[in-house]
């Protein structure tokens, strides 16, 4: 693999490009001569010339372990955290792009350090070069031969790449004056496919197949967009069933969820089977037989253990069992899926790249794809997974809940409905009602549905006061701990 040089994007200029088209910001009135030799005033569109001039990353940690919010069988005491990236530019409007790598506390500094390692590959890049060849930009942030060695395309280095890539998409959407979902929805089939690296997945999905699928889904596109604007995308709540919650708190939260109109509720399981049975009984009693209940084991079971435990939990009629075993065990998931059917198997929040998703789909190992906006390699890689899932007829139900994840995935799910999956059957986005106050444009919910964001960008810009307060270890939230 050829090593990308930090100082240049290595994009070959072409006479015709497929990419994003930035809005002109001013007009140039120059004189041209017509065929008769007369001078005419001509209006010429001038596009903003902007360069990435800086990249900063901050270690942000919120002590959610104090309330056990986010607790599960594998992660009993998470502190929701973000390696928060800002891309600065010399754009005349002072625009900046923001992205983050989501972690749960210790190790956040590793993601921040990995972001710093990618910094020389970003500073000095021209935004016009990025927008006209997003695939090359993605490869630049994932394909350096030396940094790739500590992946490749997975783990800390990949999550750091995702934070920068998502920040670039946030920046491009702001330049276009559109929320990210709308930016993507307005792109042609060819423009979308030009963003994707099909390396390692062409045995399931080729660029030609992707273009054909997107073109076929043009029918009804405007109606689906209007439906999203009017009604929003359906969601489910995880807030009722964190593993560390006492039974009475679970009852209160379930009662509130029913009153609020939630039709889908998820509970954490996996630490102790008898506790799981007791808590599942409480939740099923509280939500009734007509609402959907989902289980999430967060990777704690072996394959045989998962199959055995689900025999006992099946009486509660769950829609799915999420992460029943190791997130890398494709064949294990397939064995569980066959054994627990018709209960579905869901996974994806720790699925490290498009290749693993390809294998899960090829093996018919999952019935629900749970993309994670910050685990995969940014928007580009998410697009490839959405397309593969659509080809295989598997619904996408994004993972969310962590800091900023709800803000991210609303854009991806809404775009998926408008242009790729084009169905709401068995499709819901995870929602957790906390930490949204730390974002300048938090999610808007109505009737348990995500309403499409209207502000330009990816909804990833955090409130400056929150950044200062929760920065580790110097912020006020951490100084006296």
Kindly report, residue by residue over 240-272, the tens digit of the pLDDT: 888 888 999 999 999 999 999 999 999 999 999
Bridge partner residues of 264 (DSSP): 292
**Structure confidence at residue 222 (pLDDT):** 97
Range scoring the smallest mean pLDDT among 22-26, 420-424, 468-472: 22-26
Torsion, CA 83, CA 346, CA 179, CA 141, rounded to 10:
50
Contact 291, 67 (CB under 8 A): no
Bridge partner residues of 235 (DSSP): 429
| Catalytically annotated residues | 268, 399
Q: Which two tokens stand for residue 311?
A: 């025999």
Cβ atoms within 10 Å of 48's Cβ, excluding its own: 18
Given a cut of 50, whether residue 105 has pLDDT beyond it is yes
Average per-residue pLDDT in the chain? 91
pLDDT in tens, 198-234: 999 999 999 999 999 999 999 999 999 999 999 999 9
What would the mean pLDDT of 397-426 be, rounded to a whole number? 97
Contact 466, 251 (CB under 8 A): no
**Structure confidence at residue 176 (pLDDT):** 95
Q: Which two tokens stand for residue 73?
A: 């069988």
pLDDT in tens, 160-199: 999 999 999 999 999 999 999 999 999 999 999 999 999 9
**Structure confidence at residue 20 (pLDDT):** 55
Q: How many angstroms separate the Cα of 12 from the Cα of each of 195, 201, 374, 447? A: 15, 24, 29, 49
Range scoring the smallest mean pLDDT among 241-255, 276-290, 393-407: 241-255
Q: Which two tokens stand for residue 312?
A: 């006992």
Contact 310, 361 (CB under 8 A): no
What would the mean pLDDT of 299-319 be, rounded to a whole number? 98
**How many Cα atoms are found within 13 Å in the side-chain-facing hemisphere of 145?**
5
The rounded distance, in Å, linking the Cα atoms of 157 and 108 is 12
**Structure confidence at residue 241 (pLDDT):** 82
Provide the whole-model pTM.
0.91
pLDDT in tens, 419-432: 999 999 999 999 99
Bridge partner residues of 320 (DSSP): 344
Contact 127, 19 (CB under 8 A): no
Percent of the chain with pLDDT over 90: 85
Backbone dihedral region of 284: left (phi > 0), alpha (psi from -120 to 50 degrees) or beta? alpha
Given a cut of 80, whether residue 324 has pLDDT beyond it is yes
The rounded distance, in Å, linking the Cα atoms of 222 and 225 is 5
- Residue 405's pLDDT band, with cuts at 50, 70 and 90, is very high
Given a cut of 90, whether residue 103 has pLDDT beyond it is yes
């Amino acid at each position: 693999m050829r090593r990308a040089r930090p100082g240049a994007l290595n994009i070959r200029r072409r006479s015709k490009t497929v990419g994003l088209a930035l809005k002109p910001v001013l007009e140039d009135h120059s004189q041209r001569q017509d065929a008769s030799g007369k001078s005419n005033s001509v209006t010429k569109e001038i596009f903003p010339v902007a360069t990435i001039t800086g990249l900063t990353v901050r270690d942000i940690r919120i002590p959610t372990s104090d309330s056990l919010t986010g607790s599960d069988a594998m992660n009993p005491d998470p502190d929701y955290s973000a390696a928060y990236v800002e891309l600065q530019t010399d754009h005349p409007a002072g625009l900046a792009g923001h992205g983050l790598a989501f972690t749960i506390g210790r190790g956040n500094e590793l993601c921040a350090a990995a972001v710093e390692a990618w910094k020389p590959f970003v500073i000095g890049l021209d935004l016009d070069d990025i927008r006209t060849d997003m695939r090359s930009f993605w490869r630049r942030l994932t394909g350096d031969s030396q940094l790739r060695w500590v992946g490749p395309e997975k783990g800390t280095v990949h999550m750091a790449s995702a934070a920068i890539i998502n920040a670039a998409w946030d920046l491009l959407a702001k330049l276009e004056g559109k929320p990210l979902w709308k930016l993507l929805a307005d792109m042609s089939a060819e423009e979308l496919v030009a963003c994707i690296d099909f390396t390692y997945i062409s045995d399931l999905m080729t660029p030609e197949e992707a273009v054909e699928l997107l073109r076929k889904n043009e029918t009804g596109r405007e109606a689906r967009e209007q439906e999203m604007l009017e009604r929003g995308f359906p969601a489910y709540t995880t807030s009722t069933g964190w593993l560390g919650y006492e039974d009475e708190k679970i009852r209160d939260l379930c009662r509130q969820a029913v009153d609020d109109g939630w039709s889908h509720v998820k509970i954490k399981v996996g630490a102790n089977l008898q506790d799981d049975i007791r808590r599942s009984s409480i939740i099923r009693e509280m939500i009734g037989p007509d609402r959907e209940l989902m289980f999430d084991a967060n990777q704690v079971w072996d394959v045989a253990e998962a199959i055995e435990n689900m025999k006992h939990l099946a009486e509660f009629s769950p829609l799915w069992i999420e992460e029943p075993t190791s997130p890398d065990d494709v064949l294990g998931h397939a064995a569980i899926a066959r054994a627990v059917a018709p209960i579905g198997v869901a996974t994806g929040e720790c699925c490290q790249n498009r290749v693993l998703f390809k294998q899960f789909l090829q093996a018919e190992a999952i019935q629900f794809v749970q993309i994670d906006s910050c685990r995969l390699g940014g928007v580009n890689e998410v697009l490839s997974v959405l397309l593969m899932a659509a080809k295989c007829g598997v619904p996408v139900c994004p993972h969310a809940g962590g800091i900023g994840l709800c803000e991210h995935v609303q854009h991806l799910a809404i775009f998926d409905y408008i242009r790729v999956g084009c169905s709401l059957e068995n499709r819901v986005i995870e929602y957790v009602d906390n930490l949204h106050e730390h974002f300048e444009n938090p999610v808007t919910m109505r009737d348990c549905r995500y309403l499409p964001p209207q502000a330009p960008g990816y909804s990833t810009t955090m409130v400056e006061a929150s950044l200062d307060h929760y920065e580790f270890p110097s912020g006020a939230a951490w100084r006296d701990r």
